[in-house]
Structure 1
Amino acid sequence: MTLPTSDTRVETTVTEPGQRLLTVDGLTVSVGGLTLLDGVGLTIDAGETLGLIGETGSGKSLTSRAIIGLLPTAMDVTGSIVWRGQELLAASPAQRRRLRGTEISMIFQDPMSSLNPTMRIGRQVGEVLRRRGVPSVEVQRRVIEMLEHVGIPDPERRIGNYPHEFSGGMRQRAMIAMAMIAGPSLVLADEPTTALDVTVQARVLEMLRQVRAEQGSAMLFVSHDLRVISHVADRVSVMYAGSIMEQGPTVEVLRRPAHPYTKALVASVPAVRTRTAIADPLPGAPATPADRPTGCPFRTRCALAHDRCVEERPVLRIVGTDRLAACHVAEEVSR
């Protein structure tokens, strides 16, 4: 099955492969005196998939929500989020709303809390098209087509169902259909296959790859599953305690990490390293905004930590071709 053809999608800005779409620089999010994101920086070009990995609570989902502008008003956001040359942090709420669903869309991690329980699935999936003035008959046709594409059985009937009438996996597929129906330039995919079994997960990942190839869409693929990231991401950014620890081509980062945290993550996932039943769990507990250590935030769990790691916080620096790492001993780690 192929994606809907171009005449069935909402028109969006034409994007050339390799064109810089998104630049995030110094992104900091705080609330109540606690820093949740601390100077996050990343870039995404048209046609590429950037993986964002890290343990639960590292700031991955918060980063994607900050990009699309869906953070609570109590949170203070500083830094820069530039979309196609436009500074989004300076944009009006109306301007940001116009981008959502058409230029930038998001696949949320928890579809049960993200879908409106009082609205039928078909209406929710087609909402962005109706906002763009697409006729009702055409909206229904496109909704059925997209639901079929993501693997919803009998979509002509299912468009009349409510979210509680779908299984967890089907709700997640409906969320993906909602995010993809208008052919966005950037998809923020927050753990998009978590609720799916292996067979459906493979189908959804293939669909997302088709979107990238046929629409030229880029993706920020948020996941804690390094096995999935190793298959879908061109580049990867590794997050810990609200900061980026390492960035680079996915294959290089996973094969030869330059940061002790990345190395520990890879060692904890047997399928990424050796495909055996042996794994090395990460020592200690992750740092939190309330107890983030001075210097390197990972130093309390790092066997290579020394005095400089306590006194001086490492910054992202070049450690190889297209590789960055925030570690004082990155060269030693990557040997």
Structure 2
Amino acid sequence: MKARRPGEPGPADHTAPLLRVDELVVDLPRPDGDGRAVRVVDGVSFDVPAGTTVGLIGESGSGKTMTALAVIGLLPDRAATGGELVWRGEDLLRPGTDWRRVRGHQISMIFQDPLAALNPSLTIGRQVGEILRRAGRPRAEVRATVIDLLGRAGVPEPERRMSSYPHEFSGGLRQRAMIALALAGNPSLLLADEPTTALDVTVQARILRLLRSIQQEQGLAMLLVSHDLRVIAHVADEVVVMYAGRVAERGRAAEVLRRPGHPYTRALVASVPAVRTRTALADPLPGAPATPANRPSGCAFHPRCPLARDRCRTEVPRTREVAPGRWSACHFAEEVLIP
């Protein structure tokens, strides 16, 4: 039997997740060039089942975007990785992965800033159709498919607007064009990195509804990166809470947000009144977030944690199952879970 190359689809395994991230590690050189590395992602693990949305949530510097970039093979050139990224039974981190077969075709990404991600010198239609032309599709078929993709993404008058340039689109339309571009290769997994951050609240809601609709229509899995718990609560089935490059907590989104199992998650939920009730006042999260470059000893959250004890300052907590389907990296998670 011929062996499959990494990233090449194999026989369907309905018991396995579409993507399994297992003890992922990403090291980047320090900006000061002293030769040492910063571990920006430190032992991150989670699954993305087919057809579901997994939310990566955390403050700036938590490692969310680096995790997503590792999944699609777009880390900086000098990055070093470890662990496993098992996509359809094959580890993408093994030497020999043909990212051209994976990126855009099997896994696609919607970037945070569409104006920066889109080429200003090419029309929207040209950019959306690039992956189709590279596949050798006839010109008439490419044009028809691009019009269809733009229309499905909510771009009005797609036949006319495909000739526009990115600067001629509003922020919301540029994000819709990015969604069309990401769907052009018919992927199974969509990575969305803060897809609504630069948009006003009304447009944010429309984009989130669009993503959810497309996902359900096509059976896509989605990995959604966000710092906004309201977005995660609205869209995600599962949630992975990250802090200083590590997983603090993961589980079903509704359960995690209703009854957090980590002090950091509890503080995040308390800081967003809409996640709790319509009338509750926000309780700001105290202190400055730790980053991988200045990660404290022991539990990285201990300087900001009201439950911190001597053990928290010296011992890194392991991620463990603290309730069915719930994992927490807190020495005292059971206390946190008590209503």
Q: Same fold (TM over 0.5)?
A: yes
In the other structure, the counterpart of 2:68 is 64
- The question of 1:49 aligning with 2:46 is answered no
Letter in 1 for 2:336: V
Secondary structure in 2 matching 1:90: coil
Query: What are structure 1's unaligned runs of at least 5 residues?
Result: 1-11
- The question of 1:125 aligning with 2:122 is answered no
Give how far 1:232 is off.
Answer: 1.0
Secondary structure in 1 matching 2:294: coil
In the other structure, the counterpart of 1:304 is 307
Count of matched residue pairs: 323
- The question of 1:245 aligning with 2:242 is answered no
Whether the 8 Å CA contact 1:15–1:185 is kept in 2: the answer is: no
Q: Distance in 2 between matches of 1:91 and 1:136?
A: 35
In the other structure, the counterpart of 2:27 is 30
1:129-162 alpha-carbon deviations (Å, 9 max, x no partner) = 1222221111111111221222222221211111
Give how far 1:277 is off.
Answer: 5.9
In the other structure, the counterpart of 2:217 is 214
Whether the 8 Å CA contact 2:26–2:82 is kept in 1: the answer is: yes
Q: Distance in 2 between matches of 1:106 and 1:181?
A: 11
Letter in 2 for 1:81: L
Q: Distance in 2 between matches of 1:149 and 1:14?
A: 30
1:93-142 alpha-carbon deviations (Å, 9 max, x no partner) = 6x112111111000001111111112111111111212222211111111
Q: Within 5 A, what are the aligned runs for 1:54-203? A: 54-92=58-96, 95-203=98-206
Whether the 8 Å CA contact 2:10–2:88 is kept in 1: the answer is: no
Whether the 8 Å CA contact 1:261–1:298 is kept in 2: the answer is: yes
Secondary structure in 2 matching 1:89: coil
Coordinate RMSD, CA, aligned: 1.7
Q: Distance in 2 between matches of 1:137 and 1:91?
A: 38
In the other structure, the counterpart of 2:228 is 225
1:250-307 alpha-carbon deviations (Å, 9 max, x no partner) = 0100000000000000001110011226101111001122211110010011010001
Q: Distance in 1 between matches of 2:276 and 2:95?
A: 44
1:235-254 alpha-carbon deviations (Å, 9 max, x no partner) = 10000000110000001000
- The question of 1:332 aligning with 2:335 is answered yes
Whether the 8 Å CA contact 1:107–1:187 is kept in 2: the answer is: yes
Q: Distance in 1 between matches of 2:336 and 2:169?
A: 47
Give how far 1:207 is off.
Answer: 2.6
Give how far 1:18 is off.
Answer: 6.3
Give how far 1:167 is off.
Answer: 1.8
Letter in 1 for 2:255: E
Q: Distance in 2 between matches of 1:313 and 1:188?
A: 30
Whether the 8 Å CA contact 1:15–1:46 is kept in 2: the answer is: no
Give how far 1:30 is off.
Answer: 1.1
Aligned-residue identity in percent: 61
Give how far 1:183 is off.
Answer: 2.4
Equivalent in 36, 43, 51 of residue 39 of structure 1: 43
Whether the 8 Å CA contact 1:29–1:38 is kept in 2: the answer is: yes
In the other structure, the counterpart of 2:33 is none
